[in-house]
Amino acid sequence: MSAMFHVEDLQSPLVQPDWMNRIFKGDCVAAMNKLPEKSVDVIFADPPYNLQLEGALHRPDQSKVNAVDDDWDQFESFQAYDAFTRAWLLAARRVLKPNGTIWVIGSYHNIFRVGAIMQDLNFWLLNDIVWRKTNPMPNFRGRRFQNAHETMIWASKDQKAKQYTFNYEALKAANDDLQMRSDWLFPICTGNERLKDENGTKVHPTQKPEALLARVLLSSSKPGDVVLDPFFGSGTTGAVAKRLGRNFVGMEREQAYIDAATARIAAVEPLKGTDLKIMTGKRAEPRVAFVSLIEAGLIVPGTVLTDSKRRYKATVRADGTLACEGLSGSIHKLGALLQGLPSCNGWTFWHLEKEKKLVLIDELRKLIRDQMAAAGV
């Protein structure tokens, strides 16, 4: 039935079930259970992450971080979160067509529980996809790595479901004729795309970027398909689905989000025919850290670096810092320190001595970049 859909039919009430391209208010489990079983092609779910935040967090400039402390993200325990997860995944499973697929996005706080429960419920994991953020929030206290990504799980209904939609060729063509990888690079949702109310404050705390949803839908759905989002929020899934000629169904408990999403989707102009192409995320020039040269074996810890006039000498340490007469720091910091300058580009300051000739470490960085480019990274 869905294969017979034409993009132009999307808005026609004659061929469209009355539950399509609508947002249902209320609990998503109850709402999904009212839909006919095996009726949606793709599910995209952005459930609460169960962040378990304790106290307030301040930036180094003393400003307070606007935490996600909404009621919907509060759970008594892991058990409670698991029960919640199991319930909505079961309801989602019922409405999913036999060859449909489901996407769930999360962070390390919740994604492991979600993934395990999906496996327990017999979903068949196809990939985990890493959304690498170009501009993640820093770690302000310096006690962990900067949490710079989120994880999506992509799964079919069960192991035997082999006929799911995957637009392999389109993705490959869009990715410079290289297979689309499991790590995707996108900015977080900011600027004009971010929905704001009349006071200029964000409408929803966790609005996802449209580019992310676009790649999700372009890879795993066809024009005319039905995309269900049980945690509809600000309606990114609906907006992108409409723009790409897909139908949507959403569930959302808060009226404010429903209103914002409704207005947002109404303003979306669907693309037509040949415009339904895949867009790719900008691939930034790969930044190479000095420690990569050590990791790649181009520089061995203990190596002595010097400047072009051999005035200063510094020793490379295993951790990727330089040391010189009690001073130490990054290639940049130590270069600045030794010269008494406010700053220094270590890449164009430090040299390696090879057979009495000086080689700028920036030359080694170019080698790494070439390798990365050759690998299509």
Q: Please, which of residues 136-155 interact with DNA by CB under 7 A?
A: 136-144, 146-147, 150
**Residues of this chain, 35-54, that bind DNA according to CB under 7 A:** 46-54
Q: Which two tokens stand for residue 44?
A: 């995209």
Closer by beta carbon to a copy of itself, 2 or else 175? 175
Q: Is 126 in a helix, a strand, or coil?
A: strand
Minimum separation from the CB atom of position 26 to a copy of itself (A): 29
| Cβ distance to DNA smaller for residue 263 or 289 | 289
Which of 30, 377 has the CB closer to a copy of itself? 377
Q: Which of 1, 4, 14, 56 binds DNA (CB under 7 A)?
A: 56
Per partner kind, with CB cut-offs from 5 to 8 A, the member of DNA, a copy of itself, none near residue 46 is: DNA
Report the nearest approach of DNA to the CB of residue 344 (Å): 7
Q: Which does 33 bind (CB under 5 to 8 A by kind): DNA, a copy of itself, none?
A: none
CB of 336 within 8 A of CB of 343? yes
**Is the CB of 137 or the CB of 256 nearer to DNA?**
137
**Contact pattern for DNA over residues 116 through 135, marking x by CB under 7 A:** ---x----xxxx------xx
**Which residue's CB is nearer to a copy of itself, number 39 or number 215?**
215
194 contact choice in a copy of itself, DNA, none (CB below 5 to 8 Å, kind-dependent): DNA
Instruction: Give yes or no for a contact between 348 and 362, defined as CB atoms under 8 angstroms apart.
Output: yes
> Which range in 4-12, 21-29, 31-39, 343-351 contacts DNA by CB under 7 A?
343-351
Does 179 engage in binding with DNA (CB under 7 A)? yes
Rounded to the nearest 10 degrees, what angle do helices 78-95 and 111-120 cross at? 50
In our burial notation (b when 16+ CB lie closer than 10 A, e otherwise), range 285-300 reads: eeebebbbbbeeebbe
50 binds, among a copy of itself, DNA, none (CB under 5 to 8 A by kind): DNA
Q: How far apart are CA 151 and CA 137, in angstroms?
A: 16
Three-state SS at 113: helix
Nearest approach in angstroms of CB 285 to a copy of itself is 13
Polymer length of the chain: 377
Q: Which lies closer to DNA via its Cβ, residue 80 or residue 125?
A: 125
**Phi and psi at residue 351, to the nearest 5°:** -125, 155
Give yes or no for residue 188 binding DNA (CB under 7 A). yes
Strands (DSSP E) along 14-95, which ranges? 22-25, 40-45
Interface of this chain with DNA, residues 284 to 313, rule: CB under 7 A: 285, 287-290
As measured in angstroms, the least distance from the Cβ of 55 to DNA is 6
Cα distance between residue 342 and residue 163, in whole Å = 61
Give the integer Cα–Cα distance in Å for 349 and 342: 14
Q: How far is the CB of 318 from DNA (least distance, A)?
A: 16
| Span 208-267, contacts to DNA by CB under 7 A | none
Q: Which helix (H) or strand (E) holds 316?
A: strand 313-316
Please give the torsion angle defined by the CA atoms of residues 141, 146, 147 and 149, in that order, rounded to the nearest 10 degrees: 160
| Shortest reach from residue 291's CB to DNA, in Å | 10
Nearer to DNA, 21 or 224 (CB): 224
Query: Which amino acid is it at 71?
Result: D
Residues 267 and 273 sit within 8 Å (Cβ to Cβ): no
- Should residue 207 be labelled a site residue for DNA when binding is judged by CB under 7 A? yes
Give me the least distance between CB of 38 and a copy of itself, in Å please: 18
Cross-strand partners of 353: 358
Q: How far is the CB of 54 from DNA (least distance, A)?
A: 5
C-alpha 207/C-alpha 209 separation (Å) is 7
What is the C-alpha to C-alpha distance for residues 159 and 154, in angstroms, rounded to an integer? 13
**Residue reference for tokens 């037509």:** 272
Which of DNA, a copy of itself, none lies near 55, with the C-beta cut-off 5 to 8 A by kind?
DNA
Backbone angles phi, psi at 309, to 5 degrees: -105, 10
CB of 111 to DNA, least distance (A): 10
